[in-house]
Amino acid sequence: MSELKVGLAGLGTVGAAVFRMLERRKAELEARTGRTLRVTAVAARDRSRDRGLDLGGVIWFEDPVALARDGDIDVFVELMGGDGDPAKAAVAAALDRGIPVVTANKALLAKCGVELAQRAEASRAGLHFEAAVAGGIPIVKTLRESLAGNTIERVSGILNGTCNYILTRMAEEKLSFHVCLGEAQRLGYAEADPTFDIDGFDTAHKLAILTSLAFGTQVDADSIYVEGIRQLTLADLEAADDLGYRVKLLGVAVRTETGIEQRVHPTMVPKHWPIAQVSGVTNAVAVDGDAVALTLVGPGAGGAATASAVVGDLFDVARGARGYTFGLPVAELTKAERAAMQRHEGGYYIRLAVVNKPGTAATIARRMADEQISLESIMQRRPDGAETARVILITYATTEEAVRRAIAAIEADGVISALPQVIRIEKD
Amino acid sequence: MSELKVGLAGLGTVGAAVFRMLERRKAELEARTGRTLRVTAVAARDRSRDRGLDLGGVIWFEDPVALARDGDIDVFVELMGGDGDPAKAAVAAALDRGIPVVTANKALLAKCGVELAQRAEASRAGLHFEAAVAGGIPIVKTLRESLAGNTIERVSGILNGTCNYILTRMAEEKLSFHVCLGEAQRLGYAEADPTFDIDGFDTAHKLAILTSLAFGTQVDADSIYVEGIRQLTLADLEAADDLGYRVKLLGVAVRTETGIEQRVHPTMVPKHWPIAQVSGVTNAVAVDGDAVALTLVGPGAGGAATASAVVGDLFDVARGARGYTFGLPVAELTKAERAAMQRHEGGYYIRLAVVNKPGTAATIARRMADEQISLESIMQRRPDGAETARVILITYATTEEAVRRAIAAIEADGVISALPQVIRIEKD
């Protein structure tokens, strides 16, 4: 039986899980592909560390680029992470010599996806990255292959398990953001420096890749509007609940009249939507095509789930499956027209802390009317004895620009006493 | 650009949708595959019918077998349906001459899957059938390719939109089974003779295929335990709701100690499960692997959704993707050990109409105890003035055999006045 020699760069949680999965499923994968998938070379920093893996007979490289460039391998698996070298140099080196690459590196693809796809195309080596978006959920294959007959209108998802864990616990247990962040850190769901997750950048990287696959555009992470979940309060989540919504950090890419709108921000979604019911660290992706609307739910991170996606890609390499990195030849990927966030249209939730004096509600309502914003509801509540009252506005569909102007005017009127909270609403 | 000549047998709703989708997505599919996908020959009964398709230049066959055997085609698409000839003969004829086949025919695969897979293997032609299970949901590709690294423990799903539509309307609008069936027929979701859908046979066909893909076994529809939804009453659905469950017609295949258990029956699932929240004609499939648990939700039927799956398969044919029909060579598909339904273990909902005399509850409780069945709850209610009372029992995990014996004993005791209702419960 012919062998598929796997070179594995990165032996952390995911790398070790891939190694073990290939051993555990050896006979099955042989039967399914007609080839023996075997790790023949690895690159990792610390050779002395005990990873519980039998690395006898496996060639050890200190330098992942050397493994990619010189290793006796049929496929290079990049599990180091990072959007620069050595990950980039190693992936480029493998592709340039015609060796297919499997990677879980979303940051690298979001930043250098087009360049790497070009290298892959030039040498006819595949660049596979199912593990880079939504972990164990096969959304890359679904967009690139299964939905080839569809024109995609919208792709959106819960793409960061850390944020969804925090939002779920806040809502279900009436806890503050900071308490839930601490819990996430204690459980290993969030890093010591959680910025990358909770400020939306991780979601944005994944969304940039999905956008390219869904719309046939060049990956363009820079044009994504990004807001994280740091500023959300329990009061907002409770108000959303009262109104029939849940708050999720969504990545959304949608075809509009002015171009592709890409945005990451907390979003109020109707409770009955499948995506609203996704709780904890679980991820979900919804795709709206002209023929089919799908929702895929599953684990977005973790060693086993990520390894499952990596091994699925190795299965494709072993059976000789071919395809363009982002579905289309690089020359056919269009430079996406960016739809400006200013022109985003939708409903809005606006929470204002207002000073307690007569006429405040009238002032707010007038500023909204000035911008042609219709209100679905306006609720005012002043806790007993408090100096400020809380006003929550729900608007009908309007534009981001109008909302920002109205809020600026209200601020200038001097009737609000703290930063306003704005959450976009998605609904049927 | 090289052409992929498509022969299309069957020009009903799905066939026409495939024809149109290939025209609409022509440029896109060319860019993605490097080939022009064009319908060059069709077979259908009534040539005079106006289908709104431009069939100029397309060769017309009266006989689908002749098209499969003699047509100048590169791929044969079978959309006629039926588990015998001409569908079977046509598929066999195409495979035997090495022409890949794309089919949406679940009945044919459930009955003749192994034989057809053998023919495909012998001539190295692919047999593709994404559209045969759960319509637009890419569950076949997910099981066969994406989850290749997983050992699958369980696959289950809402695989029949007609039943799910009826159960959803009953529960949400407090309507009887017969009223909802009538509505489903009026809307075209159910046939004039609805037996095939509502008695669970359609679900069983799809489950048989999923079981083979998930567990590497020979398709064996005959070993599936099948119960439909005809006997469900609104009272059962309301009781389930009170207890925190929804009732769904599920197909379930699960690896047990005694073999693969395959069953189709109404099932109470916890409301918070993603599958519980799938409403209307929508389908859903949940897969539990050792590395990944996924739930896929989408349209299970309809022209556009089915065409999407067919075109996804044609995309794979065009790019030369190869794979075994059921994931493994036929010689490696095991003959599944059937787990007897008698040995099924789980919780049960049992509703009894009991005669109104002292000691009835005690009799029932004793019969349960005789079979070592522990009760989670027992509720008795007698509507004012009624001759019979309703007793609802919820059991802890027990066996099908014990439940059946206990009920037989209670019937022999003469304390119940109508057929008992039994619904199996699935929970965490």
Residue B370 belongs to domain with CATH number: 3.30.70.260
Subunit contact A297:B292, Cβ cutoff 8 A: no
Domain-embedded: residue A336: no
- Considering the domain architecture, whether residues B266 and B355 belong to the same structural domain is answered as no
Residue A206 appears among annotated catalytic residues:
yes
Subunit contact B148:A294, Cβ cutoff 8 A: no
Contact B12, B301 (CB under 8 A): no
Question: How many CB atoms neighbour CB A347 within 10 A?
Answer: 17
Confidence at A85, pLDDT banded by 50, 70, 90: very high
Q: Give the residue from A93, A128, A163 where a domain finishes.
A: A128
- Which among A150, A304, A321 has the least Cβ separation from residue B321? A321
- Considering the domain architecture, whether residues A234 and A364 belong to the same structural domain is answered as no
Least confident of B90-104, B253-267, B345-359: B345-359
Among A28, A246, A278, A292, which would you mutate to test the B interface (most chain B Cβ atoms within 10 Å of its Cβ)?
A292
Please tell me if residue B304 touches chain A, with a CB cutoff of 8 Å: yes
Beta strand ranges found along A306-387 (DSSP E): 345-355, 375-381
DSSP string, B341-385: GGG-EEEEEEEEEEES-TTHHHHHHHHHHHTTPPEEEEEEE--TT
Q: Give the residue from A128, A162, A189 where a domain finishes.
A: A128
Confidence at B190, pLDDT banded by 50, 70, 90: confident
- Considering the domain architecture, whether residues A55 and A196 belong to the same structural domain is answered as no
Q: Tell me which residue has tokens 């070790």.
A: A16
- Show the CA angle centred on residue A334, arms to residues A104 and A259, nearest 5°: 100
Subunit contact B328:A32, Cβ cutoff 8 A: yes
Domain-embedded: residue B313: no
pLDDT above 80: residue B142: yes
Beta carbons within 8 Å of A240's beta carbon, 6+ residues apart: A246, A247, A268, A349, A423
Instruction: Write down the pLDDT at residue A396.
Output: 94
Per-residue model confidence as pLDDT tens digits over A275-312? 898 999 999 999 999 999 999 999 998 999 999 999 99
Question: How many CB atoms neighbour CB A414 within 10 A?
Answer: 10
Higher pLDDT, A387 or A317: A317
Catalytic residue among A26, A206, A248, A357: A206
Catalytic residue among B88, B111, B141, B206: B206
- Considering the domain architecture, whether residues B122 and B146 belong to the same structural domain is answered as no
Of residues B427, B147, B61, the one with CA closest to residue B276? B427
Per-residue model confidence as pLDDT tens digits over A188-242? 888 888 999 999 999 999 999 999 999 999 999 999 999 999 999 999 999 999 9
Of residues B151, B54, B82, B258, the one with CA closest to residue A307? B151
Domain that holds residue B350: 344-425
pLDDT above 90: residue B357: no
Residue of A nearest to B294 (CA): A298
Contact A306, A127 (CB under 8 A): no
**Tokens standing for B205?**
């066909």
SS3 A385: coil
Instruction: Write down the pLDDT at residue B401.
Output: 94
Distance between CA B384 and CA A109 in Å, rounded? 69
Q: Which of B 98-157 lie inside 8 A of A, CB atoms? A: 130, 136-138, 141-142, 145-151
B191 assigned binding-site residue: yes
Domain-embedded: residue A289: yes
pLDDT above 90: residue B358: no
Domain-embedded: residue B321: no
Among A18, A21, A271, A308, which would you mutate to test the B interface (most chain B Cβ atoms within 10 Å of its Cβ)?
A308
Domain-embedded: residue B221: yes
Please tell me if residue B270 touches chain A, with a CB cutoff of 8 Å: no
CATH code, domain with A190: 3.30.360.10
- Considering the domain architecture, whether residues B243 and B97 belong to the same structural domain is answered as no
- Considering the domain architecture, whether residues A85 and A152 belong to the same structural domain is answered as no
Q: A174: distance to nearest CA of chain B, Å?
A: 19
Instruction: Write down the pLDDT at residue B7.
Output: 98
Higher pLDDT, B339 or B196: B196
Higher pLDDT, B414 or B65: B65
Contact A364, A391 (CB under 8 A): yes
Q: Tell me which residue has tokens 């909770």.
A: A198
SS3 A338: strand
Confidence at A358, pLDDT banded by 50, 70, 90: confident
- Considering the domain architecture, whether residues A75 and A176 belong to the same structural domain is answered as no
- Considering the domain architecture, whether residues A278 and A182 belong to the same structural domain is answered as yes
Residue of B nearest to A141 (CA): B146
Domain-embedded: residue B153: yes
pLDDT above 80: residue A247: yes
- Considering the domain architecture, whether residues A114 and A154 belong to the same structural domain is answered as no
Domain-embedded: residue A98: yes
Q: Give the residue from B66, B100, B128 where a domain finishes.
A: B128
Domain-embedded: residue A23: yes
Q: Taking all residues of chain B, what is their mean pLDDT, rounded to a whole number?
A: 94
Per-residue model confidence as pLDDT tens digits over B193-210? 899 999 999 999 999 999
B104 assigned binding-site residue: no
- Considering the domain architecture, whether residues A13 and A49 belong to the same structural domain is answered as yes
Side-chain half-sphere CA neighbours of B116 within 13 A: 32
Q: Is A226 exposed, middle or buried (0-12, 13-18, 19+ CB in 10 A)?
A: middle
Instruction: Write down the pLDDT at residue A233.
Output: 94
CATH code, domain with A29: 3.40.50.720
Question: How many CB atoms neighbour CB A400 within 10 A?
Answer: 19
ipTM score: 0.94
The total number of structural domains that make up chain A = 3
Q: In this structure, which amino acid lies at residue A226? A: V
Distance between CA A188 and CA A161 in Å, rounded? 11
**Tokens standing for A79?**
């599990």
- Where do the H-state alpha helices sit in B243-331? 303-318
Instruction: Write down the pLDDT at residue A58.
Output: 95
Contact A349, A422 (CB under 8 A): yes
Confidence at B322, pLDDT banded by 50, 70, 90: confident
- Considering the domain architecture, whether residues B101 and B210 belong to the same structural domain is answered as no
Q: Taking all residues of chain A, what is their mean pLDDT, rounded to a whole number?
A: 94
Q: Torsion angle of alpha carbons B198, B200, B206, B212, nearest 10°?
A: 170
Residue of A nearest to B328 (CA): A32
pLDDT above 90: residue B51: no
- Considering the domain architecture, whether residues B191 and B61 belong to the same structural domain is answered as no
Average pLDDT over residues B182-201: 92
Of residues A289, A205, A198, the one with CA closest to residue A251? A205
Confidence at A166, pLDDT banded by 50, 70, 90: very high
Instruction: Write down the pLDDT at residue A264.
Output: 97
Residue of A nearest to B20 (CA): A149
